[in-house]
Copies of this chain bind each other. A is one copy, B any other.
Amino acid sequence: MNASSDGATAQLTRKDFVSDQEVRWCPGCGDYAILAQIQKTLPSLGVPKENLVVISGIGCSSRFPYYVDTYGFHSIHGRAMTLASGLKCVNKDLSVWVITGDGDGLSIGGNHFLHTLRRNFDLNVVLFNNRIYGLTKGQASPTSEQGKVTKSTPMGAIDHPINPVRAAIAAEATWVGRALDNDTKHLPSMIETMAHHKGISFLEVFQNCNIFNNGAFLHFSDRKIRSEKMIYLQPGQPMLFGENRDKGIVLDGLKPRVATVGEGGVSLDDVLVYDASDPSLAYLVSSLDYPDFPVPVGVFLDIERETYEDLLEDQVEKAESKRGDMSLQDLVRGTNTWTVG
């Protein structure tokens, strides 16, 4: 995001971002937690409320804009990124948040995902991944596991699933992260970090749909086992995890494996130090998954590249100065005229 801060906004609080619309998700839905964390974090960004825009597609998650007291657009299924792109082209000073789901963003919206990311618009994209279609009541999504039984796959899904983080890295995004809906410390820190990244930031949030896919992430996110089954990526830090932070990821060539520090001759120095500026490493690490590996969350990728809207604005400025005092009348008249009468 790209926000000018001013004094007036310093006093904003969470409440300023709560709209007058009743929140209508199922009780217990992970969406509540994400909403709360975002509302909590927005005041700290220093962006005036009127410069914040939330744009979504269609899905349970996409009802999000109604609940945040900023400018908002609940568009159509899969197209939120396209609206956001157009808006950024014409007003690059806005802080624009795109809220999407695994179906909205990766199934019907997959093409816009790919192209919006590669263009590096300065947008904050949050994808609520519940690995199911919530709003339409329980069909498989592109992130549903193979074999998953859903309303549309009663004998089990046969599609090989998409890993959103991987897809984002390959789409040449400049900031890619992942978090968990009820990770009350980590999630807001991700939101804040992404907000401060200039260029596209893409955050996948594992979100529990307690109605149609309850406990989809519990096998690693359950608070009791979380520290053993998840790993928090920290740029510049060794990739450690475990109750006692004594387990680490070690690379044999390009093959990652889990090792315990101090066992089998593995020392802290052997543990891979995470580098969020290397897309190849990010891609490799995005392949780590349950059950063989702890599931990584945190910042996968954080690189710099000029934003689309800045490059566009540059061209406009260059062309304007090149135009000099040629008027629009001059343009319309052209150079090849003749006169009658």
Contact = CB atoms under 8 A, between A and B. Distances in A.
Interface of A: 107-111, 114-115, 118-120, 142, 155-156, 158-162, 166-167, 169-172, 254-255, 278-281, 283-284, 287, 305, 308, 311-312, 315, 318-319
Contacts of A284: 254, 280, 283-284
A288 B283 CA distance: 15
A118 B160 contact: yes
A315 B155 contact: yes
A112 B109 CA distance: 11
Contacts of A172: 160, 162
Q: Give the top 6 A-B pairs by smallest Cβ distance, nearest first.
A: A170-B170, A111-B111, A158-B311, A110-B111, A280-B284, A283-B283
A162 B114 contact: yes
A27 to B, nearest CB: 33
A127 to B, nearest CB: 15
A119 B159 contact: yes
Given A111-B111, A170-B169, A170-B170, A118 B280 contact: no
B110 A114 contact: yes
B167 A312 contact: no
Nearest to A312: B158
Given A120-B160, A254-B280, A280-B280, 11 more contacts: A110-B111, A114-B114, A118-B160, A155-B315, A155-B319, A158-B315, A170-B170, A255-B278, A279-B287, A280-B287, A283-B283
Interface centre among A108, A156, A167, A308 (most CB of B within 10 A): A167
Contacts of A255: 278
Nearest to A157: B311
A170 B160 contact: no
A114 B167 contact: yes
A308 B156 CA distance: 12
Nearest to A305: B160
Given A114-B162, A114-B167, A155 B318 contact: yes
14 contacts: A114-B114, A114-B162, A118-B142, A118-B159, A118-B161, A119-B159, A156-B315, A158-B308, A158-B315, A254-B254, A254-B280, A254-B281, A280-B287, A283-B283
A318 B109 CA distance: 33
A156 B162 CA distance: 33
Contacts of A111: 108-111, 114
